[in-house]
Chains A and B, each alone.
Chain A
């Protein structure tokens, strides 16, 4: 087998894995957009906030310690414990994200029911900056490493096997494999939740028609808190994966920008679309960089996804799986 083809296979595999990570972020957008028509600009910051909270709890840090110390002249930094088990810390972070979802509905979107989409969008921009400041205030702005015990580094089994086949070992990161499995479980879980549970059905009903949902006894408020909680949970999963990969720092919130082209490809309203869109972008940008990058000076991953999204906007604005927009005249 020619060397180039073998390299391309490795690049494709790695692209798929990166695509899964993009899809994780895009999922959070889809959940909220589908149920409430809000394009949540703060999804990336939610991932950052969740990751910072998780690290903070794990390390036993006192939230708002800088603020408390500045006001009261104390020098609090850590609680007496300094290593909370990962699972417990994750559960506590989920609780924080649910509380956040409740607060967002109660103090922001509860007051904006029936407003234009652009106003709701502006509110999420405000929310993004608020949350970023909140994360900073609560946990400080230092770069942290996040470790919840996920395996990392070269997967030797794949390396050995592929070496046996091709005389060249593929470099696949264990963390990427874990992320793919987690993403698959997450999507399966979300789909099962939406199809088979009372709350999931209520969520689908609200996504479809508010008036009809009210008339069968569904509380819109409850469903909105639920979807923000789910989006918070998805943000936490994305935050764990990206945080484990490249550390928890403010640039983490920028992964949301990579989710935008994914959404344009997959459609803003489709969960499978977010996954397929993520995979296409992941593989597309990796292969493009591999095949075309060297000819034009490299670093094509920085823009390839956006150009692809632009092409989609011209030819299929609703995305691959989005609902077709038909305007009756």
Chain B
């Protein structure tokens, strides 16, 4: 078995969507007797924005946690970049090039914005403790390169003004943006966003949507995101998976999904008469 094969194509706005980057095959995840995810398969193509949507409790976050290694499914296979991924712990998945943000924001509150973002570069630091003690030059060059990347992302996400601010003091919307910056600075192959717009006002949502689109456009980053707000997601994603009660009820372009009767029923409820 291998991954699904696709022909690359170019979107209307000039982005290239490539072959399969990640494929989830028949994933089933249980917590004791509760089935959180039931036999779900879908794939993510290189360069696309892929959304997983569904009502509250549909199993979206569980799915994201499977992708990022925080949960290990009882059944099914995870394929990434042409290879079957063995069971891995979250930090190992992160080192593969899968970065993520969290629904309830996981930042280092005691550190400044810049220090938070620099932690995303930890795995790019080659020099060891001994190197750093002896070869100041080499370690310093490395530090400068990492710092440059961090500054680039800071400029990109327009958070120059708060570089030195301790993260704990920032308002919610900015925290979300710092978290995105920390994930981005790791130059991920796949970027996972867990409800990036949850708890935001309309203006902040618009900002965040713009950043997601810009990231995908500018860096070509493949993005998988979860949302329960259908409106925003439909506007920015290339393909959408719809989940309900742990099952997949729809998969396709936003237009296909929007006209899917099962999806409409899940979101609007079914008339019983």
Contacts and interface: CB of A to CB of B under 8 A. Distances in A.
Interface of A: 193, 196-199, 201-202, 204-205, 207-209, 211-220, 323
A118 to B, nearest CB: 24
B91 A211 contact: no
A197 to B, nearest CB: 5
B94 A215 contact: yes
B68 interface: yes
Contacts of A217: 91-92, 94-95, 122-123, 186
B90 A215 contact: yes
Contacts of A209: 106-109
B225 interface: no
A215 B120 CA distance: 9
Contacts of B100: 215
Interface of B: 68, 70, 89-92, 94-95, 99-102, 106-111, 118-120, 122-123, 125, 127-129, 132, 182-183, 186
Contact of A216 (B122, B127, B128, B132): B122
- Return the 4 tightest CB-CB contacts between A and B, nearest first: A217-B94, A212-B106, A208-B108, A214-B90
B129 A216 contact: no
A240 to B, nearest CB: 22
Contacts of A197: 129, 132
A202 B119 CA distance: 8
A211 B94 contact: no
A215 B68 contact: yes
Contacts of B132: 196-198
Contacts, number: 79
Contacts of B90: 214-215
A198 B123 CA distance: 8
B107 A216 contact: no
A212 B118 CA distance: 13
A104 to B, nearest CB: 20
SS of A interface (majority) = helix
Nearest to A195: B115
A215 B106 contact: yes
Nearest to A207: B110
Nearest to A200: B129
Contacts of A205: 108, 111, 119, 122
A216 B111 contact: no
A323 B110 CA distance: 10
B109 A216 contact: no
Tell me which of B107, B129, B183 has the highest count of chain A C-beta atoms within 10 A of its own C-beta. B129
Given A199-B129, A201-B118, A216 B94 contact: yes
B106 A202 contact: no
A198 B68 contact: no
B265 to A, nearest CB: 35
Tell me which of B92, B101, B120, B132 has the highest count of chain A C-beta atoms within 10 A of its own C-beta. B132
A199 B123 CA distance: 10
A105 B100 CA distance: 27
Contacts of A323: 110
Contacts of B95: 217
A213 to B, nearest CB: 8
Nearest to B101: A215
A198 B125 contact: yes
Contacts of B183: 215
A233 to B, nearest CB: 13
Nearest to B107: A212
Contact of A208 (B99, B111, B120, B128): B111
A208 B107 CA distance: 8
Given A208-B111, A212-B182, 15 more contacts: A197-B132, A198-B127, A201-B122, A205-B108, A205-B122, A208-B109, A208-B110, A209-B108, A212-B108, A215-B100, A215-B183, A216-B94, A217-B94, A219-B89, A219-B91
